[in-house]
Structures are given as C-alpha cells and as structure tokens.
Amino acid sequence: RAVVLAAGARAAVRSGQNAPRNARVIPLIALVGLVSFQCANAHSSAEAASGLRVVMLGASGAVGGQALRELLAMPNVSKVTLLNRREIALPPNARNVEVVQHIIDPLDSKTYAAHVAAHDAAICTLGVGQPSKVPFEEFVRVDKTAVLDFANVCLAAQVPHFELLSAVGVSKSSMFSYVRVKGEINDA
C-alpha cells in the first residue's frame, strides 16, 4: 500500500509543517515518476521495454488532470486506462500512449471492475474537490467509500502498485472531519 501525499505537500514542506511519520510527502509531479520507478524495478527488462500500463480513477479533476498529463509525457508508459463519469479531452502530449476511456459510475465498482486487470499500477485521485460545499455524507461516499472500493478492486485484480492522492497532516483521530476521513483511508 502506498499513500502519496501530493496536494499541498510542497506548500506544507515550505511552510515547515510536518507530515505524519509514516507518510511519504512528494509533489504531484513526482507521483507518476514514483509509479514508473516502482513498476520498472518490479518488472523484467522485457516487460519494462513493453511499457507500463496504468489504470486511473479521477483523471477529470484538476489534480487528476495534471497527473494524467505527467503520465502521458513519460516515455515508459504504453497504456493508460481512464475510469471517469464522462469522457474527457486528452492533453496534447498523448504521444504514442494508448489511452482507453471507460465511462463508469465511480460509486459502483461493478461498473469498472472488468477494466482494472492487466495493469502494472493504479492511481486514484478521486475526490469531491471542495468538501465544504457538499454534505458530509457525500464527501465520505466519494472520498472514502469509493476510494476504498477502487483499492479493493485493484487488489482483487492483482494490480501490484496503488497510489492514492491524500493530504498532509491526516489523522484518523483528528477532530476535523476532513482530516479524520482522509486518515481513516490512509490507515485502511
């Protein structure tokens, strides 16, 4: 299980805030580099030569869109499978990467489970974007339940690497609901 603390990580590090001891704080740009490094080291040279296959949930958001742009610019990525509520326009740097988009319901894992197998890594950047503007129950459904469902589908499909967009300073014992829910996910 790998947790990537990407959103706001650079700002937190600059301001001197400490991340949880068990967390790896890396900037978003490094997210796909980390996936690439881990996958390349886990594969034979023949498998690495064929390119990495990545499945992604949450590419339509701001953070997910940036992660997708970084993924598509990497020379060792051969396929990206996007699981989204709607089709998204691809960035112009798609190179020769095979991009497959599946329109799914991120709250129903049955709508995407068949598309997860045969990938080297999974990236989850799913989230409500502005948690303060939705009811708490909706935030939990999207940011916790749907994320954990995706992680479990990836586990069942034997995807060897899972990267999760989380947040800095999360704790399941926090009195702040956003930080607590994110901490519960990290500890799951």
Nearest to 154 by CA among 96, 106, 98, 114: 114
Catalytic residue check, 112 = no
Element spanning 80, H or E = strand 77-84
Catalytic residue check, 178 = yes
Amino acid at 5: L
- The Cα 184–Cα 178 span in angstroms is 10
Catalytic-role residue among 79, 144, 172, 178: 178
Three-state SS for 119?
coil
Q: Find the DSSP H helices in the chain.
A: 9-14, 28-42, 45-50, 62-73, 136-140, 147-156, 177-187
User: Do residues 125 and 143 lie in contact, with contact meaning Cβ atoms separated by under 8 Å?
Assistant: no
**Distance of alpha carbon 137 from the chain centroid:** 21
Catalytic positions, please?
Answer: 178, 182
